[in-house]
Structure 1
Amino acid sequence: MERAGSMACYRGSYAMARAAGASPLGPDQAFQITRSENEATGRLRNINTEVANKAREYIDTQIAKNKPVIVGVSHKGGTTYNADKTTDHFVLITGKGKDEQGRTFYTFHDPGAKDIKLGSGKFNSNNRFYVDSKTGMLYRPGNGKSGLTNRHYEVAQVRRNA
């Protein structure tokens, strides 16, 4: 990918979305689930449950049309380099399913993974967002200690497609 590097996750997600037939819009068209996070941990605060639920409904409609959706996730505190000030990383939601315990999950591709099998929700069952039962927010459980493939992610923003 052109200009690949440690800050290329949005460009990577955008390129994957375009290759799959989606046309992602900018941050001014996003579902912004929150703009508040714990500075030390990156855990999101003040979740707007109505927006979280509408964003999930939107993702469902796009997945039904075979259109992936770019989402911004928080996994560390103190981020200021993206428009919403909570997004640390971008990934691409590509599908939906249910696990062995009956929990709904959303698969995603992570452009930050060096190995395609680790980055793909198709091959890596760790690349799943689950629905938080209290807030409706999407999250990936993780220990936060070892690379992007095992970090705890919380979805702060969902980008719309044109």
Structure 2
Amino acid sequence: MASFSNRQSPSQPISGRATVAHLGQAPQPQPPLLSGRAAAGHLGVGRRYTGSGDLLTPRQLPLPAPPLPDFARLRADAERLQRQLAAHDRQVAAAYRPLVLLSPAEQARRRAEAAAQQRAAARARAQFEQRLLAEYNDLAQSGYLPAFLRQAPPKPKPTPLSAGGRDCFMPLTFWKSQNPTGDPKVGWAQCCNTVKKMVGYNSDLKDRIQIVRERGKTLVGQPTATAGLAMLDQYLALHKPVMAGVHHSYASGYNKAAPDYETTDHFVAIVGTGTDAKGKYYRFFDVGTKDVNKRLGVAKSNRLYYDARTGSYSGKSAVNGKTYTISQLRFKPGTF
């Protein structure tokens, strides 16, 4: 026979609550509520407190499954990075090209080209400034500009009393002899250096303009003659003497280098210009005589007239009676 709780005999009556409890149908007593600190202790986080209750350990807690990676997106990103790296490598290769060493001849050629370009730019700038000044003066003369902006014409410089005439703006003391005493040891090959001392400058090859060139027994005008004679007029208008090479004999053996090719035989100083019955002429001082013959070197008859056959100016020298023809003009460095 089954036993009864509370040690009650079968003969004793059992209450309803006892019967229900005995059969397991009565409500079981609930464990006491745990505080936050007690629960944390059971989870292993805080201090551990004793308490009753069925709690799950961290290993038994259900965890969400990690999301799967997007392999297509990862592949696209990797391909994009590879393309960027390839483009960067190409840029680096293009920027860092190997240095090419030029030969001395190529370096000289490039320097000559750069110098020619600089001279051309300087000439273009000078021409532009002259054209602009001419337009400015035209406007001033027409009355479109106020008086304080109009450029007054330059006043002519007074002619020195010791000058050789109105066609010569330099004094007679300007003349020098290439061989003052006629010493044979000195010779008569110092005309170039003497004229350089007179005009006060030593022109470079790039500052020389060829007017004519000797070919056989004739003189042929050069394309640069017009520009050279125009520059000569500008210098003389400012009362600046100009060094000029002249031709008087064929195959003389002087100045064989380019661009002269044995054309220039002598050097004189052009000191003025004028006009007479023969037309326009240039006055020159001839250094090819001794000091005692100075009157021949500065003679008023030392004039060069225009020669249509060569496009240059020619005339006889009072020093030796030879016919001089302007073959080359040498201007102050920096003119072009």
Same fold (TM over 0.5): yes
TM score, norm. by length of structure 2: 0.40
Q: Of residues 235, 238, 261 in structure 2, which corresponds to 1:62?
A: 235
Instruction: Name the counterpart of 2:329.
Output: 158
Secondary structure at the counterpart of residue 125 of structure 1: coil
Instruction: Give the alignment of 1:79-98 within 5 angstroms.
Output: 79-82=252-255, 83=257, 84=260, 85-98=262-275
Show structure 1 runs of 4+ deviating over 4 A.
1-4
- Post-superposition offset of 1:141: 4.2
Instruction: Name the counterpart of 2:283.
Output: 107
Distance 2:186 2:233 in 1: 30
Q: Which has the higher strand share?
A: 1
Distance 2:330 2:266 in 1: 13
For structure 2, the 5+ residue unaligned runs are 1-177, 180-184
- In the TM superposition, what whole-angstrom CA distance separates every residue of 1:47-66 from its partner, at most 9, and x where no partner exists? 12x42222111111111111
Secondary structure at the counterpart of residue 35 of structure 1: strand
Distance 1:136 1:77 in 2: 18
Instruction: Name the counterpart of 1:132.
Output: 307
Asked if 1:53 is matched to 2:229, the reply is no
Distance 2:202 2:234 in 1: 14
Distance 1:110 1:17 in 2: 13
Q: Which has the larger radius of gyration?
A: 2
- Post-superposition offset of 1:152: 0.6
Identical counterparts, % of pairs: 31
Asked if 1:10 is matched to 2:192, the reply is yes
Call closer, same or farther: CA 1:63–1:4 in 2, change over 3 Å.
farther
Distance 1:5 1:132 in 2: 31
Distance 2:198 2:321 in 1: 22
Distance 1:46 1:132 in 2: 12
Instruction: Name the counterpart of 2:207.
Output: 29
Instruction: Name the counterpart of 2:250.
Output: 77
Larger relative CO (CA 8 A, sep 6+): 1 or 2?
A: 1
- In the TM superposition, what whole-angstrom CA distance separates every residue of 1:65-106 from its partner, at most 9, and x where no partner exists? 11111111110111333142211000000000112x151111
For structure 1, the 5+ residue unaligned runs are none
Distance 2:213 2:309 in 1: 18
Aligned-residue Cα RMSD (Å) equals 2.3
Whether the aligned pair in 2 keeps the contact of 1:53 and 1:137 (CA below 8 Å) is no
Call closer, same or farther: CA 1:31–1:138 in 2, change over 3 Å.
same
Q: Which has the higher helix share?
A: 2
Secondary structure at the counterpart of residue 305 of structure 2: strand
Distance 2:207 2:252 in 1: 20
The one-letter amino acid of 1:138's match is Y
